[in-house]
Amino acid sequence: MRKGEADVASSSRTIAIGDYFERFVAEQVSSGRFNNSSEVMRAGLRMLEEHELCLREQKSIVHLKETDAKLNMAEQAQLVSSEAAAKVTNSVKDAMQALAGSGLAKAQAAIPATKCQLRARVAAE
């Protein structure tokens, strides 16, 4: 048998489960619910397997919800960013239209193009 493989052909196995579980298994058999200790062990293993499957499913659901929340946050950020860009664009357009209407556009630029122009304007004022 190679490492990692189970011997499924074996019909019996010896396992140590401790005094508490030995009494529990014996009680289950004596109650008539199970015919022997092997049935009790198989029932316990089936429950463990089902529990593990439920845990995997819950982890998948949590992962999907986290991913969905991240996507929603990204979409909201993009929407806010787009709205902010539109507001800035509209403000600049409004300022340019107001400037063009006032006749100051030809006299001097509303926003100096370079630092030198800004320094010259500040010095002149």
**Residue 1 lies inside a defined structural domain of this protein:** no
> Is residue 95 helix, strand or coil?
helix
Domain limits for position 105? 18-124
**Confidence (pLDDT) at 81:** 78
What region does 32 belong to: left with phi over 0, alpha with psi -120 to 50, or beta? left
Give first-to-last CA distance, the chain, whole Å. Answer: 93
Q: How far apart are CA 78 and CA 67, in angstroms?
A: 16
Residue 51 lies in a domain: yes
Q: What is the pTM of this model?
A: 0.49
What φ, ψ does residue 61 adopt, rounded to 5°? Answer: -65, -45
Structure-block tokens of residue 101: 């209407």
What's the total number of domains in the chain?
1
Q: What are phi and psi of 94, to 5 degrees?
A: -60, -45
Which pLDDT does position 96 carry in this prediction?
78
- Whether 5 maps to a domain, the answer reads no
CA dihedral 18, 22, 28, 29 (to 10 degrees): 150
* Residue 55 within a domain: yes
Written as tens digits, the pLDDT of the chain (125 aa) is: 455 445 545 567 888 999 999 999 999 999 999 999 999 999 999 999 999 999 999 999 999 989 988 888 888 878 777 777 777 787 878 877 777 776 554 555 555 556 566 666 666 66
Q: Note whether residue 7 is domain-resident.
A: no
Task: Report yes or no on 103 lying in a domain.
Answer: yes
Residue 52 lies in a domain: yes
Contact predicate 118/109, CB 8 Å: no
> In this predicted structure, what is the pLDDT of residue 109?
54
In a domain, 4, yes or no: no
Which pLDDT belongs to residue 1? 47
